[in-house]
């Protein structure tokens, strides 16, 4: 008999290997579970949004007609590699006719394969993604909110006082992994594409990493296999077209665009199932509701606070204000020339 350690594996080692494999699978499952509610994680970034991975870096000549160095290429690749969208602009789908039609579709699929119930998009979170972006901290979130507010007049210029109505008809998939309701063809396509491009430009001009490489493809997701990664182990590796063949040309109804939200992919969802919303803008003509009034009031309050902060900063920058503050701070003290370097420089503090 060959002794342990001489090329063979004893029963104890087999148990250790088996235990490590089980731990690895459990860790993978837990990781996936934490991502399933993110609309654009892993394959969702590519398929649920209708976009590809981040733009590829090519070896091309720069403006100075010089080949990019390897270090430059590595830096560019690292910048794009680190880009993981965690926020998005959402057009919420609130028309009961549309949402009811999607629920009928989902139930019809589940009746054929009950395992797919875990792959369905939850109630309340139906939406059309306009733009994805990365916001890493509160400062960047505030910049994103400002960009959204600046986007509103751009959208109004595009729409010219008209309604923007999105009709949904038919079913399609992204590589048989993400099922979505298609946006029907019509005159609404061009203004929607213009709005998406204006959003991308507005956010990028603010220094925000936003958008992807492939052209914008609006759609309404109703299921995605990545929500239930264990399905693959059960043999479900793609969405069978036979499951939705009766709905292939079905008319689901129309959604009048009335609001665009800046939503988080990672923060806890609202009680109604919709994503955590940082800010919203009201679009087009629509009867004013309580939510619209609240958003408008918050907008006005935010603009007022920003104006006051700006006034305070301008006041503190004035030499006479700084001199007065110094006098009050150091009144009654004898300040030698050697200690004058300790004076407060408010221009450095405030910039």
**273-288 pLDDT, tens per residue?**
999 999 999 987 554 5
Per-residue pLDDT reduced to its tens digit, 23-42: 444 444 444 443 444 444 33
Predicted local confidence at residue 93, as pLDDT: 96
Predicted local confidence at residue 289, as pLDDT: 58
In terms of pTM, does the model score above 0.95? Answer: no
Per-residue pLDDT reduced to its tens digit, 219-230: 999 999 999 999
| Residue of higher predicted confidence among 166 and 24 | 166
Predicted local confidence at residue 61, as pLDDT: 39
* Longest CA–CA separation in the chain, Å: 95
pLDDT band at 2 (very low <50, low <70, confident <90, very high): very low
Question: Under a CB-based contact definition with an 8 Å cutoff, are residues 90 and 263 in contact?
Answer: yes
Per-residue pLDDT reduced to its tens digit, 39-48: 443 334 344 4
């Amino acid at each position: 008999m060959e002794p342990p350690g001489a090329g063979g594996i004893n029963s104890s080692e087999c148990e250790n290997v088996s235990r490590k494999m089980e731990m690895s699978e459990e860790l993978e499952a837990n990781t996936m579970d934490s991502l399933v509610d993110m609309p654009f994680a892993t394959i969702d970034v590519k398929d649920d949004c209708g976009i590809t991975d981040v733009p590829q870096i090519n070896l091309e000549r720069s403006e100075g007609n010089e080949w990019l160095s390897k270090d430059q290429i590595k830096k560019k690749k690292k910048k794009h590699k680190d880009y993981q969208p965690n926020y998005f602009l959402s057009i919420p789908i609130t028309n009961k006719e549309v949402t009811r039609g999607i629920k009928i579709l989902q139930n019809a699929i589940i009746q054929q394969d009950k395992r797919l119930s875990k792959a369905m998009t939850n109630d309340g979170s139906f939406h059309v993604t306009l733009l994805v972006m990365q916001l890493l901290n509160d400062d960047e979130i505030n910049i994103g909110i400002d960009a959204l507010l600046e986007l509103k007049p751009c959208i109004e210029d595009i729409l010219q006082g008209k309604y923007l109505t999105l009709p949904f008809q038919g079913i399609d998939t992204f590589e048989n992994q993400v099922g979505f309701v298609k946006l029907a063809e019509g005159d609404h396509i061009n203004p929607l594409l213009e709005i998406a491009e204006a959003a991308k430009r507005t956010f990028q001009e603010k220094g925000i990493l936003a958008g992807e490489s492939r052209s914008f493809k609006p759609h309404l997701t109703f299921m995605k296999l990545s929500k239930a990664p264990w399905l693959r182990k059960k043999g479900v590796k793609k969405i069978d077209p036979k499951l939705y063949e009766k709905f292939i040309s079905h008319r689901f109804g129309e959604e009048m665009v009335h609001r665009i939200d800046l939503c988080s992919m990672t923060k806890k969802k609202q009680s109604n199932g919709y994503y955590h919303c940082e800010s919203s803008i009201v679009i087009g003509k629509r009867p004013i509701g309580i939510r619209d009034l609240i958003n408008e009031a918050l907008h006005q309050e935010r603009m007022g606070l920003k104006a006051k902060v700006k006034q305070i900063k301008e006041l503190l920058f004035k030499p006479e204000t700084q001199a007065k503050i110094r006098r009050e701070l150091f009144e009654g003290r004898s300040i030698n020339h050697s200690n004058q370097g300790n004076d407060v420089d408010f221009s450095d503090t405030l910039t």
